Amino acid sequence: MEGKFISERKNVLVTGGAGFIGSHLCDRLVRDSNVICVDNFITSSVANIDHLLREPHFEFINHDITQPLNFSRFSELERFKVGVQGIQEIYHLACPISKRHFEDFKIATVLTNSVGVKNVLDIAVENHAKILYASSSVIYGNRRGIPEKVKETDECHLDHLTTRGAYDEGKRFSEAILQTYADVYGLDVKIARIFRTFGPRMKIFDGNLIPDMVLNALEGSDITIAGDEETRTSLAYVTDVVDGLIRLMHSPIEITLVNLGSDQEVRLVSVAQKILEITGSGSRVRFEPHIQNYIDPGLPDTSRAKDLLGWVPLLRLEDGLKSMIEYANATRQSVSF
């Protein structure tokens, strides 16, 4: 809080901190900040943050962000002096994400993308905190041909009345709420539109492309690709995306919106073949139609992130796949990461 910063470490709130990207973000932040991780495990896992629970500068709060969050109720936060120092930064990543069980979380998703965002923004206003929101590439809608790379200035085309409207339109509405609070309260608001990201701690058995490919290869099952031999995507490794989020948070107030993701396109069949090569698996690759209301936003134009943040993805795809395969091999007896 402005004028009350009394510790060498900032107090940083991470909502959705037990999720895939959120837990990796907590790993980075706890090195030099006091991290308050909020999650309710609706689609995340305690295993993602188990290694952090013994860290003196990390605290976990089991809370549904669609309900107001009152820090004074949690005595475990006294060592961070939240009542005096307040919160300096907020990373808002909380949102139910489950491709295979999306229908089960529709109400939670639409409330998180409205009431939940409002609750987090109220914390930002009270604490004069910087806030970063993890948005999604889905708000661009389907790729629209040439030019294939989408820029932050491009219009967002969505059918908000599809079965995925709670998530897709919810992300766009969340951005509108953030910009409104920035205009009214002068908040330093950051929005990261994140493209397809992969790495350890992604959920398995949940319709996630890369972990399901890896698991099927390890178990000798068919690798299924939605589309055909020319279906393409971009893939950014999770630690690169986390680096982009932190750079965005630390950027000047006039920098608000950036794309984060790989601007290099890869054929999914080539990714599958690389996984088979690394694992030595004899699995076959087969193709099936895309799921209903599938959105392919195309490639991100990341020139703004490169020019303004000095950010570029560094980890090679092959190295990222090796890391994920090692993780999956060690944990595949579990139901989820």
Structure tokens at 140: 């661009």
> Of 125, 258, 110, 278, whose CA–CA distance to 188 is shortest?
125
Element (H, E) at 317: helix 317-331
- The residue behind tokens 């919160």 is 87
Rounded Cα distance between 210 and 202, Å, is: 9
As beta bridge partners, residue 74 has: none
Phi/psi-derived region of residue 86, left when phi > 0, alpha when psi is between -120 and 50, beta in every other case: left
By residue count, the chain amounts to: 337
Please tell me whether residue 90 adopts helix, strand or coil conformation.
strand
Q: Which residue stretches of 4-114 are H helix?
A: 20-29, 82-85, 106-111
User: DSSP secondary structure string, 91-132?
Assistant: EE------STTGGGGHHHHHHIIIIIHHHHHHHHHHHT-EEE
Reduce the secondary structure of 179-224 to three states and give it as a string: HHHHHHHCCCEEEEEECCEECCCCCCCCCCHHHHHHHHHHHCCCEE
| Cβ-based burial of 229 (10 A; exposed 0-12, middle 13-18, buried ≥19) | exposed
Cα–Cα nearest to 214, from 317, 320, 325 = 325
For 272, list phi and psi in degrees, rounded to 5: -60, -45
Q: Catalytic residue positions?
A: 167
